Amino acid sequence: MTKLNAAEYAPFEAIKQVDDLGNEFWRARDLQEVLGYAEWRNFHKALERAMIACRNSGFGVDDHFVEANKMVAIGSGAMRPALDYELSRYACYLIVQNGDPRKEIVALGQTYFAIQTRRQELADTFNQLDENNKRLVVRGNIKQWNLLLAEAAHNAGVITDEEFAVFQNSGYMGLYGGLTVADIHTRKGLKTHEKILDYMGSTELIANLFRISQTEEKLRIDQASTATEANETHYEIAAKIRAAMVDMGTTLPEDLPTPKQSIQAVEREELERLRDPNTKLMLDE
């Protein structure tokens, strides 16, 4: 089975935007270009069919297709406002479902927005999920936060691969009571190529998500300016999280059980289920 490849979905990630409330949306005219529609009128037909499907599914069209204007060129450098829409992930999902699946970019879009919609469904019902689906949600969040943390660390002076390895190690040592990345890897019985985060249960992942997000914020607020300062911040934040766990009497991260199944295996099973033509997303029901 084809492995989920982030590079394949980069065109859709590149045009994703986030509003002031943290909600993701895509602009219709940006999606038009990515999907290869040369003319707006042709894309608008697919958009209208998607609106009908949205209405027939019992959802408010105005909640998923928000009218907006975009300035477009009309020649000689002149610009004029043109009709546009701010689309929810579900709106995008409906649009690509009305596209030609023989076009590679449309087929990729169908998979991308199906996965994005499913992830949101999972996040919205997190407490009702089984353990593997909880792992999927939190691991996905960690991937996003790790990108932000890497940027913050780089801005603080963590530049080389070696420096970044030391920076990462500092965080793990703070959270895991002095255990290094190599120690944790050995403790979990992982092979050389296997990643620690891919073999964590949801509780352990959540502790690490808090470590990552709080370190990123602290580095940004304090405007750390050296790799040493970044390492110390990462360790201190992680150690405080560990101290809070000790104070609450909860299980420390190194003592939590290691799942037998990697997050990639869980994701492959979920992707296989999504690609089953008999499977419906909750939003389709």
Look at residue 53 in the predicted model and tell me its pLDDT: 86
The span from the CA of 253 to the CA of 230, in Å, is: 22
Q: What is the pLDDT of residue 16?
A: 92
More confident residue, 204 or 140: 204
pLDDT at 140: 85
| Helical packing angle, 104-124 and 263-275, nearest 10° | 110
**Alpha carbon separation from 1 to 110, 118, 136, 139, 270 (Å, rounded):** 17, 19, 19, 21, 12
pTM of the model: 0.57
pLDDT value of position 2:
35
Q: How confident is the model at residue 235 (pLDDT cuts 50, 70, 90)?
A: very high
pLDDT at 71: 64
Q: What are phi and psi of 114, to 5 degrees?
A: -65, -45
Per DSSP, the residues of the chain read: -PPP-GGGGHHHHHTEEE-TTS-EEEEHHHHHHHTT-SSHHHHHHHHHHHHHHHHHTT--HHHHEEEEEEEEEEETTEEEEEEEEEE-HHHHHHHHHTS-TTSHHHHHHHHHHHHHHHHHHHHHTGGGS-HHHHHHHHHHHHHHHHHHHHHHHHHHT--SHHHHHHHHHHHHHHHTTT--HHHHHHHTT--TT--GGGG--HHHHHHHHHHHHHHHHHHHHHT--SHHHHHHHHHHHHHHHHHHHHHHTPPPGGGSPPPSS-HHHHHHHHHHHHHSTT---GGG-
Find the helix packing angle between 40-56 and 89-97, rounded to 10°: 110
pLDDT digits (tens, 9 = 90+) for 168-202: 999 999 999 999 999 999 999 999 899 999 999 99
Question: What residue ranges do the domains of the chain occupy?
Answer: 6-124, 128-270
Give the per-residue pLDDT at 3: 37
